[in-house]
Amino acid sequence: MKLLTCPLNGQRNITEFTYGGEYHPMPDHQQATSREWAEHVFFHDNSAGVVIEWWCHSASSYWFLAERNTISDQILRTFPADEIFRERIDFNPTPADQGERK
Amino acid sequence: MPFGLLKYGLSSEYPGEHHFNPTTELKKHYDVVIIGAGGHGTGIAYHLAKYHGITNVAVLEKNYLGSGNTARNTAVIRSNYLTEEGVTFYRESVKLWQDLSNEFNYNVMMESRGQLTLAHSDAAIRSFRWRAEVNQHMGVRSELIDRQQIAEMVPNLNMSEDSRFPIMGGLWHADGATARHDAVAWGYAKGACERGVELHQLTEVQDIEVTSGRVTAVKTNRGRIECGCVVQAVAGASSVVAKMAGIPLPIHSYPLQAMVTQPYKPILTPHVSSPHLHVYTHQTSRGEFVIGGGSDPYPLYNTRATLDQRESLTAAALELFPFFAQARMLRQWAGTTDMTPDYSPIMGLSPVENYYLDAGWGTWGFKATPICGKTMAELVATKKVPDIIKPFELERFYKYQQINEAGATAASH
C-alpha cells in the first residue's frame, strides 16, 4: 500500500486520492490567444523528475498540491493550495464578453 | 533436410546468422537519424531503405533493439476503432500485418484468431452497434453478437447472469490478431541493416541542436552526429526527447501493467476484452494467458509492477474466466505509455522543420507498427504528409480538432 499525506486528512492510502494534473500558472484570461489556451489545456511538461501537481482527496473533495518525483515515484511534499494562491482572482469580463451582452 | 538439421544439432559450432550490422563508430553525418529502435523506428528505417533508396540512416537506441514498448506490449492487432480517421489508419495497418512475414522474410507468427469485446451494459451494446456500423461501412469485419454466440465461441467464459456484471453481448472482430512482438523489430531491423542502415544500440541521445527552426545535429553519449533530419519514435519518452528539440507535446506518460500465467493447453481461440472490467486476455501460441492492461492512476516514468494492479487485473480476469483461480502467474511487468488527451497518435510534422514526430502511441502503438513505418518513411522521403496520417498532426490540438478515439483500449469512457 502506498501512502500519501493529505494536508487536511493526514496519511492515507493513495487509492483514496485522484490525480488532478500538473500545476501550471493560468494564462491571462483576457489576453491569452486561442493557441495559448490550447497549450494550457492540452499540453503537459510531462517531466521526468520532480514535478508539482494537483491531487484531490476523493472522500473529502479536498484539493491540494504535491511535489512528486516521476521517476522514483516518491512523494516529496504535499501542501495546501493557499501556499500559491494567496489572492482572490477576479474574472472580469473581457471587452468581447461585454460586446456580446449588448 | 533432416540430415542437415541433425548435423546442425550435433555441431559444436553454430553458424548463427548475423541479423544486424556489428557496432561501428558513428559517422559524422547521416541523412536521417531515427531515435528509438523499436518496431516503429526500425520500421521507418526499413521502408526508407527498401522503398525510397535512403540508406544513410542511423537508428539510435538508448538500450537494446526492441527493448522498450515493443517488448512490453500485449501484441494485440485490430482495427475496430470508432473514428473514421482511426479505422482507416488501423485497417491499412492490419492489411500490412497480414503480409508482414513475407514482406521482410522473417516469421512474426501472425495469428488471426479474432477479437471479442464484451458488453456488460445497455450503453455498451449501443456503442458497439455504433462501432460495428462504422467498421462495416469502412470495410472492417466487425459485428454485434449475442450471448449464445459468445457462449459457443468461448465455452470457458463465465456467462452466468448472477455475476456482478453479466455479459450482455459482444463486438466480434474477425480481423483481430496477434503476432510475436519482438520478431517485428528484429525483422524490420534485419531488412534495414541488409540495405545499409546502421543500428546503434546503447547510444543515448542527450541533446538535439536546433538552429533557426532546423535540426542540425544530435548529441549522443558516443559523440555528436550531424543529420539531414530527425525522426523520433520513443513512445514513453516522447515528451523528454521532444523537449530537447524545444517541442512541447500534449502527452502524459503512464505505466500500463500486464501479466502472464503459466502455459495451458490451447483452450481459448480469440482475444477477449472487457472495457467495463478493464481487462483483456488471450492465449499465446505457447499456451500462456496474457492478461492486461491496467493503467496506473497517475503518470510515472517507471516500469515497476504493483500489487494494486495485480489485484484489480486478477479480480476482473477471474470474473471472466473462473479457472484462473488455479493459475500461477509467471510474470508481471509494465511499459510506459505516452497517452494523448484524445487517444489518437501524434504523427508527422513538428514546429521544427526537419524534425518528425512519431509519438502519442499510448496503448495502440504495436498494432500501428507497419502502417507507421510505411507512412512516416514516405513523409521523410517526400516531405509530403500522407493523407492517411494527416489528421494525426500535432497542430490539431492548436486547432481544437482532436480525434476522440473512444475505441481505444485504455479510453476511459
DSSP state of B111: B
Give pTM, 2 decimals: 0.93
pLDDT attached to residue B185: 97
Antiparallel, parallel or unpaired: β B57-60 and B198-200 = parallel
- In this complex, which of A2, A18, A46 lies closest to B299 when CB atoms are compared? A46
Closest listed residue to residue B376, CA positions, set B365, B364, B388:
B388
Look up residue B76 and give its three cell numbers: 494485440
Domains of chain B, each with CATH number or no CATH:
26-111+176-250+340-413 (3.50.50.60), 112-175+253-339 (3.30.9.10)
Confidence of residue B407 (pLDDT cuts 50, 70, 90): confident
Mean pLDDT is lowest, of A2-11, B111-120, B287-296, for B287-296
Of B237, B240, B298, the CB nearest to A19: B298
Cell readout for B252 is: 502524459
Model confidence band, residue B413 (pLDDT cutoffs 50, 70, 90) = very low
Nearest chain B residue to A55 by CA distance is B298
Helix (H) or strand (E) run with residue A67 in it: strand A62-69
Predicted local distance difference test score (pLDDT) of residue B20: 80
Three-class SS state of B86? helix
- CA–CA separation, B211 vs B209, rounded Å? 7
CB-nearest to B297 from A19, A70, A71 is: A19
Whether residue B249 and residue A43 make contact (CB cut-off 8 A), yes or no, is: yes
Lowest mean pLDDT among A19-28, B7-16, B102-111: B7-16
% of residues, chain A, pLDDT over 90: 75
DSSP for B236-269, please give it.
GGHHHHHHHTT--BS-EEEEEEEEEE----S---
- Average pLDDT of the segment spanning B387-399: 97
* Nearest CB neighbour to A71, from listed B298, B301, B308: B301
Looking at chain B, the number of H-run helices and the number of E-run strands are 11, 18
Name B344's Cβ contacts closer than 8 Å, sequence gap at least 6: B83, B85, B86, B360, B391, B392, B402, B403, B404, B405, B408
Asked if the model's pLDDT at residue A102 lies above 80, the reply is: no
Distance from CA of B362 to the nearest CA of A (A): 14
Residues of chain B in contact with residue A42, where contact means CB-CB under 8 angstroms, are 250, 341, 397, 402
The domain spans of chain A are 3-83
pLDDT tens for B350-390 read 999 999 999 999 999 999 999 999 999 999 999 999 999 99
The H or E element spanning position B364 is none
Average pLDDT for residues A9-18, to the nearest whole number?
A: 96
Q: Is the pLDDT of residue B135 over 60?
A: yes
Answer yes or no: are the C-beta atoms of B281 and B275 closer than 8 Å.
no
Q: What is the pLDDT of residues B240-258, one digit of tens each?
A: 999 999 999 999 999 999 9
> Which H or E element spans position B8?
helix B2-10
Q: Is the pLDDT of residue B410 over 70?
A: no
3-state secondary structure of B363: coil
Are B239 and A70 a contacting pair at CB < 8 A?
Answer: no
3-state helix vs strand vs coil in chain A, percent to 5 = 20, 35, 40
Contact of B94 with B218, CB cutoff 8 Å: no
User: What CATH code is assigned to A3-83?
Assistant: 3.30.2270.10
Residues A51, A52, A57, A58, CA torsion sign: negative
Q: Is there a contact between A46 and B249 if contact means CB atoms under 8 Å apart?
A: yes
Distance (Å) from the C-alpha of residue A88 to the closest C-alpha of chain B?
29
Predicted ipTM of the assembly:
0.90
Determine, for residues A35 and B398 on separate chains, whether the beta-carbon distance falls below 8 Å. yes
For testing contact with chain A, the best of B206, B247, B301, B400 (most A CBs within 10 A): B301
- Judge if the upstream peptide bond of residue B293 is cis by omega within 30 degrees of 0: yes
Banded pLDDT at A96 (limits 50, 70, 90): low
Instruction: For residues A66 and B124, give the distance between their C-alpha atoms in angstroms, rounded to a whole number.
Output: 36
Closest Cα in chain A, distance from residue B311 (Å): 12
Contact (Cβ atoms closer than 8 angstroms) between residue B375 and residue B56: no
Question: Rg for chain A (alpha carbons), in Å?
Answer: 17
| pLDDT tens digits, one per residue of B300-357 | 999 999 999 999 999 999 999 999 999 999 999 999 999 999 999 999 999 999 999 9
CB–CB of A19 and B302 under 8 A? no
Distance from CA of A32 to the nearest CA of B (A): 13
Q: Which residue has the higher pLDDT, B30 or A28?
A: B30
**Which residues, in sequence order, are CB contacts of B362 under 8 Å at separation 6+?**
B337, B338, B339, B340, B343, B345, B408, B410
Residue B334's pLDDT is 96
CB contact under 8 A, A38 and B398: yes
pLDDT of residue B412: 46
Grid cell, residue A62, equals 479536498
Please choose, from the candidates B224, B219, B232, B225, the residue with its C-alpha nearest in 3D space to the C-alpha of residue B354: B232
